[in-house]
Amino acid sequence: MEGMSAAEPTPAHTFATVRRLEAPLIAEARAQGHPDALMARAATGVADAAWGLLERPRGGLRPSAVDPWCPGLDPQDDPRGHAPDSGAEPTALPPDIPAPSATLSSVASHGPSLAPSPHSATHEGGTPEDAAPQVVALVGSGDNGGDALYACAILQDAGTACMAVLLKPGAHERALGRARAAGVAVIDLADRPLSRLDEREAARLAGARVWIDGIVGTGVRGPLEGSLADAVKTLAALKRSADPAVVAVDVPSGLTDSCGEVSGPLLPAEVTVTMGAHKEALVLPPAAGYAGRIERVDLGLPVPAEAEQTPPVALHTAASAAAHYHAPTFEDHKYTRGVVGVVAGSDTYPGAGVLAVRGALASGVGMVRLNSTRRVEDLVLAAEPGVVTAGGRIQAGLIGPGLDEARRAEALELAEFCLDARLPLVIDAWALDLVPGLAGRTQPAALTITPHYGEAARLLTALGSPTTRARVVEAPLRAARSLHELTGATVVLKGAATIVYGAARATPVDGSAPGREGALGPEQGDGPGAPCSPEEPRGWDSARAIVAPLGCGWASVAGSGDVLAGLVAGTHAGARAHRERN
């Protein structure tokens, strides 16, 4: 979008906001006699994505994350890998929905049969009757279907055999005419359900290497129902066996909840070509797991008023993360780079102390002070001899990684010291059980907690809001928001797509001059943006969710959370030191 700095998290908006921003551009195009101008631009992006998938080996497609920070791709052998563990799995056929017809099932199992069928419908367009198309557009009655049809026309013009399956009456008339003129084969299902395709139609659908999902878009509210739900369930089941790559137009069909929750059937995609702006549902878990790689088509949308202040959901990027770290200068020394106090590790979990300390050092701080058992300190010093095991000045604290009940007194001592001194405090792992007793003493943005889904459920229950891990998995944004409201903490809810939820901007709790506007920055107000106005009240201005991109599943190992907690604490200390120096 226009006017956005590369160092700011990328705004993600609700479906309604993006539709509102598109409306004047569509009206202007119509007034100029080009009613489908935006649609043509969107179709070009969809066609480009389809071409990209056709160039890759079938069966070797793996969707990567939005703005991936590393070249590793997200392994999703099962496209339901990030789905909530509920009855709403999009690729499952519930008992009340008939399975795909024998024709569809046999084609998916044994490969497409190209033999002529006496029951085949008459197909319009220039693709030969017995030639399997490389690309099939799944077309609904809305603008997404029009985008898909125009994309097929572009591909057909370039020599890629395409077919369009009209799932509902009322397909976009101009786009359909353009597709037919280009020679795209068209199957109009009329009143037939998708599950009753004949043998040749099923063979051509299952044999295509790429499907373009233009069934439904952002205008649908609530889970899909009726014939559309049946069609999406049938296609999702066929996708699992026939293994086409799916390019979703704007959003995967069935992804209807802006908050990222999955409440009904949907068709998972390898690539989602989203129009104009990132949508909240495409970056928030669990829905982000169904969207695959996100490619945005710039439609020239203006920045909405709410994004000029603080969008409620934004996507972290490598650039916005880098803005929180400062390269040391010739004037720096160990104290001006930040000092972290760490209570981590125990004789039960000694390795956690090493990992947390290494995470803190990776943030670029000048010193880490460690309080642990003799065994843990020996292990840490053998790995990182610059770590200090004596007390002294700190600018942020960390408690929790690898602790057990025997270390409770040391953890509480550091926590109380940070709270009394109004220093940033990070609480992780075992020490999260201490949060209910500390929450009432915290200042705005002074406390950061880093639970995974199971720990979040346990903490919410302890705070008087009983829940389960499964419910957190289904609605992680809701869980993060509840933890923030109950504790006042910045919540780092760890997962494949990590949600950071907390104060969007706050004035430092020690009363010193405010830092830059906080996009959930490492310390109160230490994120990128404009300075707080002196006229603004000190404290929290609003709440915001920053989402780290859907990452690589290889990070889901024991110890990764310890490293992250250390990195967060080190980032807090470095930011505070930088502000104190300036």
Give me the CATH number covering residue 482.
Answer: 3.40.1190.20
Q: Are residues 267 and 384 in the same domain?
A: no
CB 69: neighbour CB atoms within 10 A? 14
Q: φ, ψ for residue 168 (rounded to 5)?
A: -140, 150
Residues 233 and 169 both lie in one domain: yes
The pLDDT of residue 68 is 33
- Most distant CA atoms of the chain, gap in Å: 86
Does the residue 534 lie in any domain? no
* Residue 294 shares a structural domain with residue 372: no
Cα 453 from chain centroid (whole Å): 16
296 and 412 fall within a common domain: no
Angstrom distance (rounded) from CA 136 to CA 190: 17
Q: 304, exposed or middle or buried, with CB in 10 Å at 0-12, 13-18, 19+?
A: middle
Task: Report the distance separating Cα 516 and Cα 94, nearest Å.
Answer: 51
Nearest to 522 by CA among 482, 577, 485: 577
Distance CA 12, CA 59 (A): 31
Q: How far is CA 571 from CA 132, 292, 330, 397, 415, in A?
A: 55, 30, 20, 11, 18
Q: Say whether both 301 and 414 belong to one domain.
A: no
Residue whose pair of structure tokens reads 């509920």 in the numeric block: 86
pLDDT of residue 59: 55
Catalogue the E-assigned strands of 278-381. Answer: 278-279, 293-297, 313-315, 339-343, 367-371
Q: Which of 276, 310, 344 is the last residue of a domain?
A: 310
Same structural domain, 274 and 361: no
Q: Assess if residue 211 is contained within a domain.
A: yes
**Tens of pLDDT along the chain (582 residues)?**
433 444 778 888 888 888 888 888 889 999 999 999 999 999 999 999 999 999 876 655 444 434 333 323 333 333 323 333 333 333 333 333 333 344 444 444 433 322 223 333 334 555 545 567 999 999 999 899 999 999 999 999 999 999 999 998 999 999 999 999 999 999 999 778 888 888 888 899 999 999 999 999 888 888 999 888 999 999 999 999 999 999 999 999 999 877 889 989 999 999 999 998 889 989 999 999 999 999 999 988 876 665 445 668 988 888 888 888 888 989 989 999 999 999 999 999 999 999 999 999 999 999 999 999 999 999 999 999 999 999 999 999 999 999 999 999 999 999 999 999 999 999 999 999 999 998 777 665 589 999 999 999 999 999 999 999 999 999 999 999 999 999 999 999 999 889 999 876 543 434 333 332 333 333 333 332 322 222 333 334 467 898 987 777 778 899 999 999 999 999 999 999 988 887
**CA angle (124, 129, 135) in 5-degree steps:** 80
Q: Specify the long-range contacts of residues 113-116, CB closer than 8 Å, at least 24 apart.
A: 113/199, 113/200, 113/203, 114/200, 114/203, 114/207, 115/199, 115/200, 116/200
Asked whether residue 297 falls in the same domain as residue 372, the answer is no
Tokens linked to 554? 């290889």
- For residue 366, being part of any structural domain is answered with yes
In the beta sheet, which residues pair with residue 369? 341, 388
User: Do 253 and 289 belong to one domain?
Assistant: yes
Q: What angle do CA 87, 287, 305 make, to 5 degrees?
A: 135
Q: Which residues contact 376 (CB under 8 A, 6 or more apart)?
A: 344, 345, 346, 347, 350, 353, 354, 370, 402
> What is the rounded distance in angstroms from the CA atom of residue 55 to the CA atom of residue 222?
36
Q: What is the pLDDT of residue 109?
A: 41
Assess if residue 365 is contained within a domain: yes
**Amino acid in position 330:** F
CB-based contact 449:483 (threshold 8 Å): yes
- Is 530 inside a domain boundary? no
Q: Are 377 and 322 spatial neighbours (Cβ–Cβ below 8 Å)?
A: no
The CA R_g of the chain, rounded to the nearest whole Å, is 27
**CA dist., res. 383 & res. 385, Å (int):** 6
Amino acid at site 576: R
Contact 291, 278 (CB under 8 A): no
How many Å apart are CA 83 and CA 315, to the nearest integer?
A: 20
In terms of domains, do 21 and 165 share one? yes
Residue 112 maps to a domain:
no
* Pairing of the two strands 162-166 and 271-275: unpaired
Domain shared by 258 and 359, yes or no: no
User: What is the SS3 assignment for 474-518?
Assistant: HCHHHHHHHHHHHHCCEEEEECCCCEEEEECCECCCCCCCCCECC
| pTM (predicted TM-score) | 0.80
Q: Residue 50 domain-assigned? A: yes
Closest among 45, 236, 226, 213 to 142, alpha carbons compared: 213
Same domain, 144 and 255: yes
For 254, left (φ over 0), alpha (ψ -120 to 50), or beta? Answer: left
Helix and strand numbers (H, E) in the chain are: 19, 18
State the CB neighbour count (10 A cutoff) for residue 461: 12
Closest CA to 294 of 138, 14, 67: 67
Q: Can you give the CATH number for the domain in which 137 is found? A: 3.40.50.10260
* Same domain, yes or no: 171 and 300: yes
**Residue that terminates a domain, selected from 278, 310, 342:** 310
Beta strand 499-503 pairing with 543-547: antiparallel
Specify if 320 maps to a domain.
Answer: no
Distance of alpha carbon 381 from alpha carbon 256, whole angstroms:
52
Looking at residue 541, the DSSP 8-state letter turns out to be -
* Long-range contact set of residues 511-516: C-beta below 8 Å, sequence gap at least 24: 511/538, 512/579, 512/580, 513/579, 514/538, 515/575, 515/579
| Residue at a domain's end among 277, 310, 343 | 310
| CA terminus-to-terminus distance, the chain | 33
For residue 243, give its domain range.
10-56+131-310
| DSSP result, 515-532 | -B--SS-SSTT-SSSPBP
* Residue 111 β-bridge partners: none
**Domains contained in the chain, number:** 2
What pLDDT, on a 0 to 100 scale, did the predictor assign at position 306?
52
Whether the CB-CB separation of 477 and 501 falls below 8 Å is answered with yes
